Amino acid sequence: MLSITQPKKFEKVLGFLKRDQKVFLVGCGTCTTIQHTGGKTEVLAMKAKLEESGKQVTGWMVIPTACDPLVEDAVLEKAAEINASDAILAMPCSFGVQTVALYTKKPVYPALNTMFIGKEQSPGKFNEVCMQCGGCIIANTAAICPIVRCAKSLFNGPCGGSVGGKCEVDPNTPCGWQQIIDRLTEQGRLDQLEEIMKLKDWNHSLWGGPRQITLEY
């Protein structure tokens, strides 16, 4: 899986930097390098664009994995160039942006939108299959998550807009419930869907408040 990112429009990024003349750039060597959104090439391209727009780039670095506590050491290593800047423009996914922000007093802005945790369908093609609700229900739905794969998160779908196996919201999106029904039919277990799914406990998801966990190894 990969943290899937897309570049923000450059005007938006310039908007973040309206109070900042000197910028330090940070990229990431993992997900955003693979996707060509925040690796070395993109960092250098951003440097050129910022300089063309009249900003001064005090320095740059590509942190191998920007969501790692080792970011603290990386930031220390570049202390001089970071201190010389007014702000940091960060090009990892938002996990990396927020990690960098932990270890500096400078403002840190995201150059990318973090879209979803992507599963690779075929080389270069990623889709969203899980939203980490904390209470997995896919035992009931042939290992396909209706919360994510159905546009309306139906628990007892499909809705009345499912036509030809496609979702009413986007003709390129398969109807998640059609997929669930197909797979259960293949398994001879369509009768599983006769049971009405209980109301979701959202308390273990985002809506229960910020989540954290300590693992004991």
Partner 1 sequence: MKAGTNLEKVLAGGHFTVTAEAGPPKGTSPKVLQRKGETLRACCDAVNVTDNQTAIVRMSSLAGCTLLKQQGVEPVMQMVTRDRNRIALQSDVLGAVALGIGNILCLTGDHMRFGNHPTARGVFDMDSIQLVRVLKTMRDEKKFISGDDISGDVPLFIGAAENPFADPFEYRVLRLAKKVAAGADFIQTQAVFDVEKFQRWMKMVVDRGLDKQVHILAGVIPIKAAGMAKYMQTSVPGVSVPQGIVSRMEAAGKENAKEEGVKIALEIIEQLRNTPGVHGVHIMAVGWEDIVPEVVGKAGLLPRPVID
Question: Which residues contact partner 1 by CB under 8 A?
Answer: 151-165, 168-169, 175, 178, 181, 190, 193-194, 196-197, 199-200, 202
Nearer to partner 1, 15 or 165 (CB): 165
Nearer to partner 1, 22 or 183 (CB): 183
Strand pairing report for 125-128 and 166-167:
unpaired
Asked if 39 contacts 32 with a C-beta cutoff of 8 angstroms, the reply is yes
Could you tell me the smallest distance in angstroms from the CB atom of residue 11 to partner 1?
A: 19
Could you tell me the smallest distance in angstroms from the CB atom of residue 155 to partner 1?
A: 5
Nearer to partner 1, 12 or 36 (CB): 12
Residue with tokens 């899980």: 130
Output the CA torsion 211→110→8→35 (10° steps).
Answer: -80
DSSP labels for 142-154? TT--HHHHSTT--
Tell me 184's DSSP state: H
Could you tell me the smallest distance in angstroms from the CB atom of residue 168 to partner 1?
A: 4
Could you tell me the smallest distance in angstroms from the CB atom of residue 172 to partner 1?
A: 13
Could you tell me the smallest distance in angstroms from the CB atom of residue 169 to partner 1?
A: 5
Could you tell me the smallest distance in angstroms from the CB atom of residue 29 to partner 1?
A: 34
Nearer to partner 1, 44 or 151 (CB): 151
Asked if 144 contacts 137 with a C-beta cutoff of 8 angstroms, the reply is no
Nearer to partner 1, 47 or 166 (CB): 166
Nearer to partner 1, 2 or 190 (CB): 190
Residue with tokens 């004991």: 216
Which tokens go with 125?
């093609």
Tell me 163's DSSP state: B
| Cα-based distances in Å from 51 to 45, 60, 70, 177, 188 | 10, 13, 29, 50, 62
Peptide bond into 7 cis (omega under 30): no
